[in-house]
Structure 1
Amino acid sequence: MNHSARKAGWVALLAGALLVGGGACGGDDGPPDENPSPDGGTQADAGTKLPAEEGRALAVSNGGLVVVGSTEVNLATTGVDLLVRRYTASGEVDTAFGTQGSVVLDFEGPAKGPISGQREQDDRADTVAVLTDGSILVAGFARGGNATNSRDFAVVKLKPDGQLDTSFNKTGRSRLHFGEDNAVNFVGTLRGILPLEDGRFYAGGFLTKSDGLDEDFAVIRYNADGSLDTTFKSAGSPSGSWIGGAYTDAEAVQGMALQGSSVVLGGGDHFKAVRITASGSQDLTFGTSGLATSEGGQAHALVARPNGGFLLAGSDQDVKVGGELHGVLKLVAYTADGKPDVTFGPAGVRQLTAPAGVLDVVDVSGVRIQADGKALVFADVYAKPVLFRLQANGDLDTSFGTDGMVRWTETQLAVPLFVRATTGPKLTVLGDKAFVTDANVYSSGFFPDENPRVLLKSTGL
């Protein structure tokens, strides 16, 4: 679809219709308490069934790890709620954080006015960032009504001890609703947070009509106090945001990287990336007419490279190998200006089709660059997690594991980069470190070296 025509459509749909309720963007959470304390899920007694939980992202916090996602601990009353939990460096739940180690938040809703006459359901955190002062930003979505698929952007700021930070939007949380009052036209979620040195931050994800047929890049810039930064503006998008045009049927921000005062967004079909200036406009000198793209597959993660470029990691499910179609790991390297980095591979692309053990990649959930320039890529290969390590030029690092890979047995690990209480080993990847647990006992045999790793014990995640 023509980009300018698509932007005109956003003008008609969104002009004057971006609702920011409750102070700057708080929705109907009500006035803050004098001594706010987030809802807390209780710890299950020994022998009782733990509530269903799902981790989605993690970050280093206070010497340990903070994991975010969702929980059904209050399913009967508030539905699926946003979850934040912190673990100590030894893998225990940090009971000094939140309520006995957890923060459980329900975004009552919708953002304005009744939709279904019932409490809003299915809040979830998809990304987290820890700021230099130890405070924690969490983002994801708040569903816009029990009977709909509508989803609003949701952001929460916590103090280092897990209490809501009421200097942020007066309530510690922000809810951003697209469309008219009571409308359920839009589905969105935030999948990345990129803090800036001055306290502002970008939150990126996707926005689509509720039919789900056309996901578009979306990035919001917030002030430190939780209000929208209205100096960030682009024609056809509400102030404080840049909503991309429809280049194909799915563009979602899966990662962001700063380039000077600009920000690069990447992810979705055909490994797309764009660069947005500090003022909020798309940089049309980037890539080809403002867009970097590589035909085929879908990017699930982005990371900056030491040379100023960036790397997108994902998969391509329709690659013929030995006469059969397979899902393969695909990586695309771009230069700082969004051009294919041919030093990484032809057209900047690496598709791993050999040895046979690299085939049938279903999902990629993490990519990190080590200090030596090597890349760690974590993939879910039919419920069997695999950690790849590649040389800076894209070759498999055969000194790592077996043929450049470390494998685990089947774990039902649907979303890597977090730990959950399933049988078998679990793994997270952060920077150049990996964190492993196997039935609450670390086994050095999972890695080719004997360096100690952090153990995250199974406590419901």
Structure 2
Amino acid sequence: MNLRILTYFIFHWLLISTVFGQSGYLDPSFADEGIMTWNVSGKQDNGHGIGVQSDGKIVVASSGEFFDIFGFNIGVVRLTEDGNIDSTFADNGRFLFGDEFSSGFIYHLEVLADDKILVAGGYSVDGSLNQELIIIKLLADGTPDTSFGDDGVVLQQIDDGEDYIHSFVIDYKDRIVAGGTCNIAGSVYSKNFVARFEPNGIVDTSFADNGVFIWNDNDNYNDVWDVAVSEDRAIFASGRGKPFGTNRLSVYKILEDGSSLDSTFADNGELFAPFQGTAYGMVIHSNGNILITGPNYNVNGADLVVLAYHQDGTANTDFGQDGVFMIDVNANDIGLNLIEQPDGKIIAFGESGGQLFSPPPRAFFSVRMDEDGIIDETWGDQGYVVTETGWMAWASDATIQDDGKILLAGLSAEDNNDLQVVRYGNFIDTDMDGYGMEEDCNDLVFEINPGAEEIANNGIDEDCDGMDLLVSNANVEKEIDVIIYPNPVEGELLIKLPEINQEVISIEIIDGSGKTALPASRPVFNQDPTIRINMADLPSGLYLISIHTSSGIINKRVVKS
């Protein structure tokens, strides 16, 4: 190895070591040394949902006292990528819904693939405790999407008492699967529900009983706080049940059509973990594990727990210690949600602090572990981070930016409760090639990174310089005159050769990110020189048709509509 190459590797190793050291530390390039605090309403505010649009702008759901009444209403705000208020969004950076007579609260936000925004929670037109479900859809610029519901708003009553959506997910048909709680009128007890809505906001009456599945109507305390849809299209819900006199972290599995709980899961579709608390957050990990997080209350306070289960509801005892990850930093450590990084690592977050008003103050709390439930000490100093920003604070939601940095959203209290967003540096190297997401143009493929050797004419940008190296293949094209049609294509693509030609070795379809969409295959000609490729199931976009011959490679581009 010559001195220049050795120097390069030493420099790159030192750079990686430095970046690793920044994981979990406040990002000084964001807002005020990594922390954005905004008293949006001028009174009390609560951040409860965060997402990032394709241009890097940050959207946050913020319930607050926006009108001249004592009570919350609904807000959505947007920040620039560096954490400043984006005045181009809605009305000077804020979308507000409600008036001085109403009340409402938002619990969840999603930025959709087209940058439109969905938020959901509960809403009362007259400010009473008779809350209805509410879903609001905004265009990317913060104006209501009038094609959704009634001018962008859906109101749906479930029961005579208070109804709230705590979370929702978009399924494979772009339907909205929402979960939450409906309170029994005149009672302190509550019931679980999952409801499904069409993409335009109309209730999907083919699901359950006129669009709503309700269970545990048993004069008890039940809450659904998170929902997910598995690869087999079943619906999972997590939250709280009280079957044995104490609150238990719970998970439920519901059939896709909402007709009933799935009796093959756990105990007739219900799982009550042996921990006292509420499963506020849930994610189905890419390895198939069902992960939930919440507090485990005990005589000394609470510990944050993450529990792992197989898809049949049995504990995954290979995760953490016998299926349990638990951390005790302060008297009260509470998990409110969790996310999976592209490299499979898990970040659970919420709050950490003393009991009630005892020190230390309640603060933003995050802890990272690998997919086996082992704490990852590269996050912060020792695998967890406590960020104190007031006398009381907590993180309700989180998201990952395209560069791997982590955003937490919640509230912080000084004189009032303020919306707060915190950004942490992070290094994610999914393909383990030594380059993080921020500089690696494809962090899923080891052979693609800024230090890779470029391969000519394959339609792939191996060295991340923004283009593929093109070398003339005129001789090949002269020998094999290839015609590809139709272009754009919706279903079957035809590749026509002038005559039966055994020079063609294989044909590969590559998507715009450089990944193989359809693997290479050797064409069979018989008497027809036309090759047929079914592209109906591929997503819309630009594709490279790479035709490998004994003389070289011919690349043709086609648009899938």
Q: TM-score, normalised by structure 1?
A: 0.71
Per-residue Cα deviation, 1:136-191 (whole angstroms, up to 9, x for no partner): 11101103643x42211111111111111111123210111234xxxxx4112111
User: For residue 167 of structure 1, what is the aligned residue in structure 2?
Assistant: 147
Aligned partner letter, 1:369: E
Distance change >3 Å, CA 126–CA 299, structure 1 → 2: same
Of 76, 101, 104, the residue aligned with 2:96 is: 104
Aligned-pair distance for 1:74?
A: 2.0
Distance change >3 Å, CA 202–CA 452, structure 1 → 2: closer
Q: After superposition, where does 1:362-401 map in structure 2 within 5 Å?
A: 362-382=333-353, 383-401=362-380
User: For residue 309 of structure 2, what is the aligned residue in structure 1?
Assistant: 334
User: For residue 344 of structure 1, what is the aligned residue in structure 2?
Assistant: 319
Matched, 1:136 2:117: yes
Q: Secondary structure at the match of 1:331?
A: strand
Distance change >3 Å, CA 104–CA 448, structure 1 → 2: closer
CA distance in 2, matches of 1:204, 1:436: 22
Matched, 1:405 2:384: yes
CA distance in 2, matches of 1:64, 1:362: 31
Of 161, 178, 183, the residue aligned with 1:203 is: 178
Matched, 1:260 2:232: yes
Higher relative contact order at CA 8 Å, sep ≥6: structure 1 or structure 2?
Answer: 1
CA distance in 2, matches of 1:378, 1:212: 32
Of 231, 238, 248, the residue aligned with 1:270 is: 248
Of 243, 247, 262, the residue aligned with 2:214 is: 243
Bigger shift: residues 288-297 or 209-218 = 209-218
CA distance in 1, matches of 2:40, 2:90: 22
Per-residue Cα deviation, 1:35-82 (whole angstroms, up to 9, x for no partner): xxxxxxxxxxxx999343221111112421110121223225x95321
Aligned-pair distance for 1:449?
A: 7.3
Of 52, 66, 69, the residue aligned with 1:60 is: 52
CA distance in 2, matches of 1:332, 1:176: 33
Aligned partner letter, 1:301: G
Aligned partner letter, 2:87: T
- More strand, by proportion: 2
Per-residue Cα deviation, 1:342-401 (whole angstroms, up to 9, x for no partner): 111455223334xxxx24234322211122322111121121222111122222222332
Q: Secondary structure at the match of 2:155?
A: strand
Q: After superposition, where does 1:119-130 map in structure 2 within 5 Å?
A: 120-130=101-111
User: For residue 219 of structure 1, what is the aligned residue in structure 2?
Assistant: 194
CA distance in 2, matches of 1:414, 1:239: 40
- Work out which of the two has the higher radius of gyration on C-alpha atoms and give 1 or 2: 2
Aligned partner letter, 2:121: G
Aligned-pair distance for 1:264?
A: 1.0
Distance change >3 Å, CA 124–CA 332, structure 1 → 2: same
Is the Cα–Cα contact under 8 Å of residues 192 and 255 in structure 1 kept in the other structure? yes
CA distance in 1, matches of 2:156, 2:422: 44
Matched, 1:435 2:413: no
Aligned-pair distance for 1:448?
A: 8.4
Q: Secondary structure at the match of 2:275?
A: coil
Aligned partner letter, 2:96: V
Distance change >3 Å, CA 449–CA 132, structure 1 → 2: closer
The alignment's C-alpha RMSD in Å is: 3.3
Matched, 1:88 2:77: no
Per-residue Cα deviation, 1:236-290 (whole angstroms, up to 9, x for no partner): xx41011121575233232423332211111224221111222112211111211
Q: After superposition, where does 1:274-313 map in structure 2 within 5 Å?
A: 274-281=252-259, 282-297=261-276, 298-313=278-293
Distance change >3 Å, CA 96–CA 349, structure 1 → 2: same
Query: Which portions of structure 1, spanning 4 or more consecutive aligned residues, are displaced by more than 4 angstroms?
Result: 446-453
**Percent identity, aligned pairs only?**
23
Q: Secondary structure at the match of 2:90?
A: coil
Per-residue Cα deviation, 1:98-134 (whole angstroms, up to 9, x for no partner): 111111011x7xxxxxxxxxx6432121111122222
Is the Cα–Cα contact under 8 Å of residues 257 and 303 in structure 1 kept in the other structure? no
Is the Cα–Cα contact under 8 Å of residues 79 and 120 in structure 1 kept in the other structure? no
Q: How many residues align?
A: 365
CA distance in 2, matches of 1:346, 1:392: 13
Is the Cα–Cα contact under 8 Å of residues 317 and 362 in structure 1 kept in the other structure? no
CA distance in 2, matches of 1:155, 1:203: 10
Structure 1: stretches of 5+ with no match in the other structure: 1-46, 109-118, 180-184, 320-324, 419-427, 454-461
Distance change >3 Å, CA 412–CA 241, structure 1 → 2: farther
Is the Cα–Cα contact under 8 Å of residues 215 and 252 in structure 1 kept in the other structure? no
Per-residue Cα deviation, 1:176-208 (whole angstroms, up to 9, x for no partner): 1234xxxxx411211112112333111111112
Aligned partner letter, 1:194: V
Q: TM-score, normalised by structure 2?
A: 0.59
User: For residue 544 of structure 2, what is the aligned residue in structure 1?
Assistant: none
Aligned-pair distance for 1:402?
A: 2.7
CA distance in 2, matches of 1:291, 1:83: 35
Is the Cα–Cα contact under 8 Å of residues 290 and 310 in structure 2 kept in the other structure? yes
Is the Cα–Cα contact under 8 Å of residues 168 and 226 in structure 2 kept in the other structure? no
Aligned partner letter, 1:154: I
Aligned partner letter, 1:261: R
Is the Cα–Cα contact under 8 Å of residues 61 and 86 in structure 1 kept in the other structure? no
CA distance in 2, matches of 1:263, 1:178: 19
Q: After superposition, where does 1:72-87 map in structure 2 within 5 Å?
A: 72-76=65-69, 80-87=72-79
Q: Secondary structure at the match of 1:294?
A: strand
CA distance in 2, matches of 1:49, 1:177: 28
